[in-house]
Amino acid sequence: MHDEALASKGEDEIVPMDLDLHKPLDIEYALERLKSSSQQFFVFNDKDSKMRVLYKRIDGKYGLY
């Protein structure tokens, strides 16, 4: 189904986003980037080239996958 067709039927709209994963980041640096943004989560590769997800929790803390 085409993107415009999904939007016109009133279904949930999925907006594709590009991930900037080419440079490994320290977890502390990723946390600072998340804190300074309005996003709910931040996807990055750590120093061991493992894909990680840092996210804002409802209780105001941060989670890390």
pTM of the full predicted structure?
Answer: 0.66
Q: HSE, CB side, 13 Å, CA atoms: give it for residue 15.
A: 0
pLDDT at residue number 1? 46
Question: DSSP 3-state assignment of 17?
Answer: coil
Q: Give the model confidence (pLDDT) of 8-37 as tens digits.
A: 566 889 888 777 767 899 999 999 999 999
Q: HSE, CB side, 13 Å, CA atoms: give it for residue 4.
A: 0
CB 40 within 8 A of CB 17: no
pLDDT band of 52, cuts 50, 70, 90: very high
Looking at residue 57, the DSSP 8-state letter turns out to be -
The sign one gets for the Cα dihedral 41, 58, 15, 51 is: positive
pLDDT at residue number 9? 63
Mean pLDDT of the chain: 85
